[in-house]
Amino acid sequence: MRRALDLAVEDGTVLSGLLRSDVEKPAPLVVMAHGFSGVKEEIGHYASSFASAGYCALSFDCRGFGESDGVPAVAVDPLR
């Protein structure tokens, strides 16, 4: 299974996520982010490997990157 989802954070910003799982029952969840300048699609092969091993894998775009909300876009702000 591969399902897109939105993650709302405290200030109302919406982060774009992608959930992968190959199991039909509850399983441990691995939360993954590429880092400050990447997007969730760039780590899809890692997320798929976790899903194949029986885990659920949630990857997401950091604030202002990829499909996630955030102003200014494509700016690294470690305090936020």
Question: pTM of the full predicted structure?
Answer: 0.84
The number of folded domains in the chain is 1
Q: Is residue 7 part of a domain?
A: yes
- The 10s digit of each residue's pLDDT in 46-57 is 999 999 999 999
Q: What are phi and psi of 36, to 5 degrees?
A: -70, -30
Q: Is the pLDDT of residue 1 over 70?
A: yes
Asked if residue 46 is part of any domain, the answer here is yes
**How far apart, in whole angstroms, are the C-alpha atoms of residue 5 and residue 70?**
17
59 φψ region: left (φ > 0), alpha (ψ -120 to 50), beta (else): beta
Q: How far apart are CA 45 and CA 32, in angstroms?
A: 12
Domain of 6 in residue numbering reads as 2-60
